């Protein structure tokens, strides 16, 4: 070690605690870092990479770091760049498993006999293929819901069970049917030269197994492998990691079994629990000091997670301040809940100077985002929803992307059929069916028939002409992709123009603000941005290589296929972030609110029965709680709309597991009668009940969200509640509790003519 490097080594270690430093300096051999929440895990990983390169002398391209999302990959790269040079950092491979696999499969496509331009199918594409399979097999989709069948197939794939093995292994009727669908599904994917997310991993496993030369090449390139969130790796990912690290044994896994929340999609918690038996002699480092949260928040999290029985004990502790109590809010309904959360966040912003960008609202299921979003929008609180795929889910963007995919991979019917008559060009549903039927009967690819519609005799002349014209356009775009010196942006613009997609959006009368057109514009500019970044990155690795238009388009489509929800979160936006608990993994915020902490929601309905699933729900809650640095609010509503109907709820059993001395129920400085928090001292509630009774005297006209207009017959405070008997115009006479009824007063002689 030279003098300069030893200086650097101490610099890399100076602000680390002992176990952190141990993990950073352990150079060779397997290493497991069991990192509690907020224990400086990311810091350890980045410093470790810095140490490997600056002190151990590893070349940047010898380092492979796997993260859970693309966004985490980007952040890790820039944090590493602060320790070494920007240039060196760019040469490190930092990526998700799926992105890495997609890239490897493209690089080694020829050896696997795979097309370079294969499509990546997302869940929606997969469902379509399942439906298609059921159709072709003449199986009733009612008895075999596509989503369920797909889940069975995906689970099998995660265990590396292919269609053939699956078929021989099942005996019951459902399994046998799934086996048939699985076989057909695989066949359709192959026919379309497409892979689903599972295939990216599986085919990579195959690549490494069947091509020792490739494996050997990769093992020597990636001498140091680091994998984050190891508790959430599945079997295929485990195999890929161990194959890559088999020669040099420099596998560093970091993670926390208490934060394993993806069991439902095949993640195997055993990978991290049994690391030491997979890698005998592995060094194990435990990071238990928390630098993120207040004592109270950490205490609440720790107390709750202790209720998990299938768990290794861990001692979480912190030197941080005691902090504010964790607040548990009991609300009337989801509207009330949203209002309370919104007010609380505003108060934290105004009184405690917490920036909007450092606050978050988490929920178990996406549908809960709507109410809170409406409320924040109404209150003028800046916010963003973490839905990475939202942009690409728009119809016009899906269409545009389908064009690009169809150009790259013309064999892919799913894309081709999506755009064949979008915008409408005189190719009817019947004509499309005829083509499909002909394709099936004569074993001819759909794209061939599109280029040569005369082959399909059942088509009339007009249809044949329209189809031929469409085929010519496709040909033209494909040729342009190969030869022209266009930029990616220019190419996409030309396709949008010539396909008339742009024109269709411009003439769309249902969209007066031309939002769709603007979205297409955004796709074009994102392509331009992508091109710049990609060229920059490539040329740092290899100065002579200028990527072709084709390569650029492939890379961009791959990126689009693999965007994740959190990828859309921009921390500099200065906005409150709304996201699911799953998406919250790995993030931190000054203030966190978790809404809908109710039985059936968290833990989710479908997980209440099974002990293991219940523990996963608890871990999910644990992940949410431990994202909070200073303020934490857990809220639940007494009534919640389910399928448009107000249903009574039960507070989450997890709430009972929180130590009472660390929490505060319904902080008493309530807001106001209608916007405020429910007071829990009986006197306050009785006062409110009396007040409400005064607001709706007998004879007054009210409006109910479900029952419409009505007249109050009788009203009386009863304990904490106010009961009112009301005759509705259409719904008859009902007795309602005013606290929950969401009644609005209607002045008489309004334009309702009442």
Partner DNA sequence: AGGTTCGAGTTTTTT
Partner DNA sequence: ACTCGAACCT
Give catalytic residues, as residue numbers.
Answer: 41-42, 228-229, 259, 627
Q: Does 564 bind DNA (CB under 7 A)?
A: yes
Question: Bridge partners of 703?
Answer: 709, 744
Measured distance CA(718)–CA(722) in Å, rounded:
5
| Identified binder of DNA from the candidate list 351, 429, 572, 672, rule CB under 7 A | 429
Handedness of CA 262, 264, 270, 273 (dihedral sign): positive
Nearest to 621 by CA among 594, 600, 599: 594
Nearest-approach distance from CB 49 to DNA, in angstroms: 21
Two tokens, residue 208 = 């490494």
Does 66 bind DNA (CB under 7 A)? Our answer is no
Q: Is 214 an interacting residue with respect to DNA (CB under 7 A)?
A: no
Which residues in 261-290 contact DNA (CB under 7 A)? 264-265
Which CB sits closer to DNA, 554 or 566? 566
Q: Which of 167, 421, 444, 539 binds DNA (CB under 7 A)?
A: 421
User: CB neighbours (10 Å) of residue 72?
Assistant: 23
Binding to DNA by residue 293, rule CB under 7 A?
no
Q: Binder to DNA among 145, 355, 574, 668 (CB under 7 A)?
A: 145
Sign of the four-CA dihedral 372, 374, 380, 386: positive
DSSP letters for 51-116: HIIIII---GGGEEEEESSHHHHHHHHHHHHTTS-HHHHHHSEEEEHHHHHHHHHHHTHHHHT--T
Q: Which of residues 699-728 bind DNA (CB under 7 A)?
A: 705-706
Enumerate the β-bridge partners of residue 576: 383
Distance of closest approach, residue 135 Cβ to DNA, in angstroms: 9
566 lies in the site for DNA, by CB under 7 A? yes
* Cα–Cα distance, 87 to 91 (Å, whole number): 7
d(CA 416, CA 424) in angstroms, rounded, equals: 14
The sign of the CA dihedral 203, 206, 211, 217 is: positive
Q: Residue 64, class by beta-carbon neighbours within 10 Å (0-12 exposed, 13-18 middle, 19+ buried)?
A: buried
CA-based max dimension of the chain? 90
- Residue 364 interacts with DNA (CB under 7 A): yes or no: yes
Residue (462 or 691) nearer to DNA, CB:
462
Q: In this structure, are residues 711 and 719 in contact, taking their beta carbons and an 8 Å threshold?
A: no
Does residue 314 contact residue 258 with C-beta atoms inside 8 Å?
yes
Please calculate the CA angle 654-596-599 and round it to the nearest 5 degrees: 45
Using CA atoms, how far residue 98 sits from 198, 203, 471, in Å, is 9, 11, 33
The CA distance from 299 to 172, in Å, is 48
Tokens of 231: 């508790």
- Residue partners of 598: CB distance under 8 A and separation at least 6: 636, 637, 640, 649, 650, 651, 652
106 binds DNA (CB under 7 A): no
Residue whose CB is less far from DNA, 142 or 313: 142
Residue ranges in 441-480 that form contacts with DNA under rule CB under 7 A: 462-463
Residue of the chain from 609, 643, 648, 683 that contacts DNA (CB under 7 A): 643
Per CB under 7 A, the list member of 27, 139, 641, 663 interacting with DNA is 641
Can you tell me which of 426, 574, 708, 732 binds DNA, judged by CB under 7 A? 426
Angle between helices 369-379 and 334-352 (to 10 degrees): 50
Which CB, 95 or 739, lies closer to DNA?
95
Per CB under 7 A, which region of 1-9, 53-61, 90-98, 288-296 contacts DNA?
A: 90-98
Segment contacting DNA (CB under 7 A): 271-279, 377-385, 598-606, 627-635?
598-606
Q: Residue 459: how many CA atoms within 13 Å on its side-chain side?
A: 27
Q: Tell me which of 82, 367, 514, 729 binds DNA, using CB under 7 A.
A: 367
Nearest distance in Å: CB 637, DNA: 14
Q: CB 120 → DNA: shortest distance, Å?
A: 9
Q: Which of 86/515 has CB closer to DNA?
A: 515
The C-alpha R_g of the chain, in whole angstroms, comes to 29
The stretch near DNA (CB under 7 A) out of 288-296, 449-457, 485-493, 602-610 is: 602-610
Q: What are phi and psi of 468, to 5 degrees?
A: -60, -40
338: contact with DNA by CB under 7 A = no
Hey, what are 591's tokens? 């203030």
CB closer to DNA, 566 vs 688: 566
Q: Which is nearer to DNA, 183 or 465 (CB)?
A: 465
Contacts (CB under 7 A) with DNA, residues 650-689: none
Residue in the structure block whose two tokens are 């093995």: 165
Stretch that binds DNA, among 5-13, 269-277, 300-308, 361-369 (CB under 7 A): 361-369
| 122 binds DNA, rule: CB under 7 A | yes
User: Out of 169, 458, 573, 605, which residue is the one contacting DNA (CB under 7 A)?
Assistant: 605
- Counting contacts by CB under 7 A, is residue 132 touching DNA? no
Binders of DNA among residues 497 to 526 (CB under 7 A) are none
* Two structure tokens written together for 37: 């929440």
Q: Does 604 bind DNA (CB under 7 A)?
A: yes
Task: Report the residue number, 67 or 635, with the smaller CB distance to DNA.
Answer: 67
Q: Which of 119, 308, 580, 649 binds DNA (CB under 7 A)?
A: 580
With CB under 7 A as the rule, give the number of residues binding DNA.
Answer: 50
Choose between 124 and 673: whose C-beta lies nearer to DNA.
Answer: 124
Taking CB under 7 A as the rule, does residue 489 contact DNA?
no
Comparing CB distances to DNA, the nearer of 264 and 317 is 264
Q: Which residues bind DNA (CB under 7 A)?
A: 68-69, 96-99, 122-123, 142, 145, 147, 197-198, 264-265, 364-367, 388-389, 421, 424, 426-431, 462-463, 562-566, 580, 582-583, 604-607, 613, 641-644, 705-706
């Amino acid at each position: 070690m030279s003098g300069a490097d030893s200086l650097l080594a101490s610099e890399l270690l100076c602000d680390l605690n002992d176990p952190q430093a141990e993990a950073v300096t352990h150079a060779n051999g397997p290493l497991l870092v069991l990192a509690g929440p907020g224990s400086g895990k990311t810091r350890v990983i980045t410093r470790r990479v810095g140490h490997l390169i600056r002190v151990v002398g590893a070349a940047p391209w010898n380092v492979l770091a796997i993260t859970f999302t693309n966004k985490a990959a980007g952040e890790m790269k820039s944090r590493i760049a602060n320790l070494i040079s920007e240039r060196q950092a760019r040469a490190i491979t930092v990526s998700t498993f799926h992105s890495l696999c997609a890239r490897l499969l493209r690089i080694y496509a020829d050896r696997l006999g795979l097309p370079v331009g294969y499509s990546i199918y997302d869940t929606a594409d997969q469902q379509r293929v399942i439906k298609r399979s059921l159709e072709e097999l003449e199986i009733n989709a009612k008895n075999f819901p596509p989503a369920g069948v797909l889940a069975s197939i995906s689970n099998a794939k995660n265990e590396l069970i292919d269609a053939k093995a699956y078929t021989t292994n099942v005996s019951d009727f459902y399994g046998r049917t799934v086996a048939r669908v699985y076989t057909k599904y695989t066949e359709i994917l192959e026919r379309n030269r497409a892979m689903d997310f599972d295939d990216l991993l599986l085919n990579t496993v195959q690549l490494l197994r069947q091509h020792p030369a490739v494996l050997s090449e990769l093992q020597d390139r990636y001498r140091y492998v680091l994998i984050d969130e190891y508790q959430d790796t599945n079997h295929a990912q485990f195999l890929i990691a161990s194959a890559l690290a088999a020669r040099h044994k420099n596998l560093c896994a970091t993670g926390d079994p208490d934060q394993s929340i993806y069991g439902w999609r095949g993640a195997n918690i055993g990978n991290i629990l049994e690391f030491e038996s997979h890698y005998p002699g592995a060094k194990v480092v435990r990071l238990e000091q928390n630098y993120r949260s207040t004592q109270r928040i950490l205490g609440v999290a720790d107390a709750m997670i202790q209720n998990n029985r299938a768990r290794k004990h861990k001692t979480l502790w912190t030197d941080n301040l005691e902090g504010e109590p964790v607040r548990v809010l009991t609300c009337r309904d989801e509207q009330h809940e949203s209002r309370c959360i919104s007010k609380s966040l505003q108060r934290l912003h105004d009184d405690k100077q917490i920036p909007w960008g450092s606050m978050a609202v988490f929920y178990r299921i996406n549908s809960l985002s709507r109410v809170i979003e409406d409320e924040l929008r109404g209150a003028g609180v800046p916010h963003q929803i973490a839905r990475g795929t939202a942009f690409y889910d728009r119809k016009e963007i899906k269409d545009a992307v389908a064009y690009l995919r169809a150009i790259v991979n013309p064999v892919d019917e799913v894309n081709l059929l999506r755009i064949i008559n979008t915008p409408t060009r005189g190719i009817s549903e019947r004509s499309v069916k005829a083509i499909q039927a002909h394709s099936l009967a004569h074993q001819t690819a759909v794209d061939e028939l599109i280029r040569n519609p005369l082959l399909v005799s059942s088509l009339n002349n007009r249809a044949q002409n329209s189809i031929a014209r469409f085929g010519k356009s496709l040909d033209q775009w494909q040729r342009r992709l190969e030869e022209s010196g266009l930029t990616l942006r220019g190419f996409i613009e030309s396709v949008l123009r010539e396909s008339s997609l742009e024109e269709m959006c411009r003439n769309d009368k249902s969209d007066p603000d031309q939002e769709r057109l603007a979205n297409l514009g955004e796709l074009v500019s994102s392509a331009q941005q992508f091109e710049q970044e990609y060229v920059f990155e490539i040329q740092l690795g290899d100065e002579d290589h200028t990527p072709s238009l084709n390569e650029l388009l492939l890379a961009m489509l791959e990126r689009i296929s693999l965007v994740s929800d959190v990828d859309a979160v921009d921390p500099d936006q200065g906005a409150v972030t709304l996201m699911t608990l799953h998406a919250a993994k790995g993030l931190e915020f000054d203030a966190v609110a978790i809404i809908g902490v109710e039985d059936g929601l968290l833990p989710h309905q479908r997980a209440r029965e099974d002990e293991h699933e219940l523990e996963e729900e608890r871990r999910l809650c644990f992940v949410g709680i431990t994202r909070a640095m200073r303020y934490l609010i857990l809220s639940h509503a007494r009534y919640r709309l389910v399928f448009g109907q107000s249903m009574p709820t039960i507070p989450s059993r997890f709430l009972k597991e929180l130590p009472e001395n660390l929490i505060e129920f319904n902080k008493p400085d309530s807001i106001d009668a209608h916007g405020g928090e429910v007071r829990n001292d009986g006197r306050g509630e009785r006062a409110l009940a009396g007040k409400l009774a005064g607001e709706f005297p007998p004879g007054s006209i009210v409006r109910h969200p479900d029952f419409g207009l009505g007249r109050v017959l009788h009203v009386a405070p009863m304990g904490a509640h106010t009961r009112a008997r009301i005759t509705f115009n259409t719904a008859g006479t009902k007795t309602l509790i005013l606290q929950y009824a969401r009644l609005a007063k209607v002045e008489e002689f309004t334009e309702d003519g009442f």
